Amino acid sequence: MTAVSVSLGVGPNAGSAPGTPAGPAAPDRSALASPLVGAAAEARERAAARERARAERRARLAGVTRRRRSDAELWEVARRGQEELGGSGPGSADEATAEEVIAWAVREFGDGLAVASSMTDSVLSYLVSRQLRWVDVLFGDTGYHFAETLGTRAAVEHELDVTVVDVRPRLTVAQQDAVHGPDLFERDAESCCRMRKVEPMREALAGYEAWATGLRRGDSATRRHAPLVTWDSSNNLVKINPIAAWSDDDLVSFALRHRLVVNPLLNDGYPSIGCAPCTRRVAPGEDPRAGRWAGLDKVECGLHV
């Protein structure tokens, strides 16, 4: 996501005009440009190949009738999963690793598994895509995101073997303004989150048996005891938190090691990123989620409660 500026030596001062004394040797523009042209063509081809693979997967899935197991059956799967993977309890040394949790989830649910991403980073999407190529990555597109978040979403689609699914509210921001008055987030953040995040995601999740989230115990006090696998009674499916045990350092070093896309706002004072009107920078040493709904008695959008 880092913008790279490359000078090709073009413009009014590049090279020498005919008849003028020879200055320093002008850069060979074709020699500089050709690797860039080649790299751009390669990137285009990779993106096109990814689109073809996604289309093939969509066509394959469209021809398959898959029975969604009953809530009781899935509840039992969640119980068994936590028993198999959870070791002695959340945070214990004998808990399964993220890769082991994902391997179990892929075996258990296959294409009935989705990933939810806020586009803060792409670590979880990458981890799951290594074991389930073209997995659906659900992005709650509220209409209020920072440009950097939308840029991260585009980069994830470009760079990873995943299928990004934009989950949108029924009303556009303009329609919501017309029906409920402008800037509902200022007057009733609960209703705004419910209409723009929680209900659309619940509807999207109804087509799956399980979802994997990037929720981590270190995020906040309310997430401190998050299990690796649980029954999500709000959305009636299995909820999997493969990186629940990861620290900030674990996440950052993994992203760096694998050269993964991260939201540039992470390096700009936003350790937790939500909608632009409801997210502010935090000061060094402040709670990482202090910038979310600052000044309100609200710490979660409602998706993870």
Residues marked active site are found at 301
- Please pick, from the candidates 90, 218, 277, 288, the single residue that binds ligand SF4 as defined by CB under 6 A: 277
Q: How far is CA 270 from CA 230, 244, 265, 278, 282, in A?
A: 29, 20, 6, 12, 6
Query: Does the footprint of ligand SF4 cover residue 202 (CB under 6 A)?
Result: no
Query: Does the footprint of ligand SF4 cover residue 118 (CB under 6 A)?
Result: no
- CB-nearer residue toward ligand SF4: 144 or 254: 144
Query: Does the footprint of ligand SF4 cover residue 282 (CB under 6 A)?
Result: no
The pair of structure tokens assigned to 29 is: 């523009």
- Please pick, from the candidates 50, 197, 202, 216, the single residue that binds ligand SF4 as defined by CB under 6 A: 197
Chain residues 127-166 in contact with ligand SF4, contact rule CB under 6 A: 142, 144
Query: Does the footprint of ligand SF4 cover residue 192 (CB under 6 A)?
Result: yes
> Vertex 201, ends 200 and 202: CA angle to 5°?
90
Query: Does the footprint of ligand SF4 cover residue 201 (CB under 6 A)?
Result: no
Part in contact with ligand SF4 (CB under 6 A); list of ranges 45-53, 188-196, 230-238, 262-270: 188-196
- CB-nearer residue toward ligand SF4: 56 or 186: 186
CB of 260 to ligand SF4, least distance (A): 25
Query: Does the footprint of ligand SF4 cover residue 275 (CB under 6 A)?
Result: yes
Query: Does the footprint of ligand SF4 cover residue 278 (CB under 6 A)?
Result: yes
Part in contact with ligand SF4 (CB under 6 A); list of ranges 9-17, 33-41, 185-193, 214-222: 185-193
What are 135-139's contacts with CB under 8 Å, separation 24+?
Answer: 135/111, 135/162, 135/163, 136/111, 136/162, 136/163, 136/165, 136/208, 137/162, 137/163, 137/164, 137/165, 138/114, 138/165, 138/167, 138/201, 138/204, 138/205, 138/211, 139/164, 139/165, 139/166, 139/167
- CB-nearer residue toward ligand SF4: 86 or 274: 274
- CB-nearer residue toward ligand SF4: 120 or 230: 120
Beta strands in 39-83 (DSSP E): none
- CB-nearer residue toward ligand SF4: 16 or 222: 222
- Closest residue to ligand SF4 using C-beta atoms: 275
Check: CB of residue 148 under 8 Å from CB of residue 304: no
Per-residue DSSP letters for 198-229? IHHHHHHHTT-SEEE----GGG-GGGTT--SE
Query: Does the footprint of ligand SF4 cover residue 185 (CB under 6 A)?
Result: yes
CB of 197 to ligand SF4, least distance (A): 5
Part in contact with ligand SF4 (CB under 6 A); list of ranges 4-12, 51-59, 84-92, 193-201: 193-201
Check: CB of residue 127 under 8 Å from CB of residue 260: no
What are 88-96's contacts with CB under 8 Å, separation 24+?
Answer: 90/217, 90/225, 90/226, 90/227, 90/228, 90/244, 90/245, 91/217, 91/245, 95/228, 95/245, 96/228
Query: Does the footprint of ligand SF4 cover residue 113 (CB under 6 A)?
Result: no
Check: CB of residue 153 under 8 Å from CB of residue 119: yes
- CB-nearer residue toward ligand SF4: 79 or 168: 168
Query: Does the footprint of ligand SF4 cover residue 273 (CB under 6 A)?
Result: no
Binding site for ligand SF4 (CB under 6 A): 142, 144, 185, 189, 192-193, 196-197, 274-275, 277-278, 301
